[in-house]
Structure 1
Amino acid sequence: MTFPIQPQQSSRVPVLIGTASVDPELGYAVPPGPWGLAVSLHTERDRWLLASLELTITP
């Protein structure tokens, strides 16, 4: 998805969090417990880490 944002502007960007796993070692879903979520922004020239959030998956 592309969100056109000009320099010095701000915008809300939706983030979808799911518990499905693509790692066969984890099974079909990530195990319950503490996890980290990182959101990165890719621009035409750079890549930025925007947010890091701790979250807990419960059964």
Structure 2
Amino acid sequence: SEYYIISGNQYGNDLGNGSWSGVVGKIMNNELDLCINEMVWNSERSNVIDYIESIIKS
């Protein structure tokens, strides 16, 4: 297994041409299998990646 630490707020933005930047782009390009972080759900991202329910409740 390999682990990467992504610094900053690089969760992913829609680039408008069918591709995404950041972690979402890496998942879509099969460069990552999953991401574990505090990424906030939004409807744009939910159209291209799957979220799981939070395992930590505040």
**TM-score, length-scaled by structure 2:** 0.25
Name which structure has the greater RCO, CA cutoff 8 Å, separation 6+: 1
- Higher helix proportion: 2
- Higher strand proportion: 1
Q: Which has the larger radius of gyration?
A: 1
**TM-score, length-scaled by structure 1:** 0.25
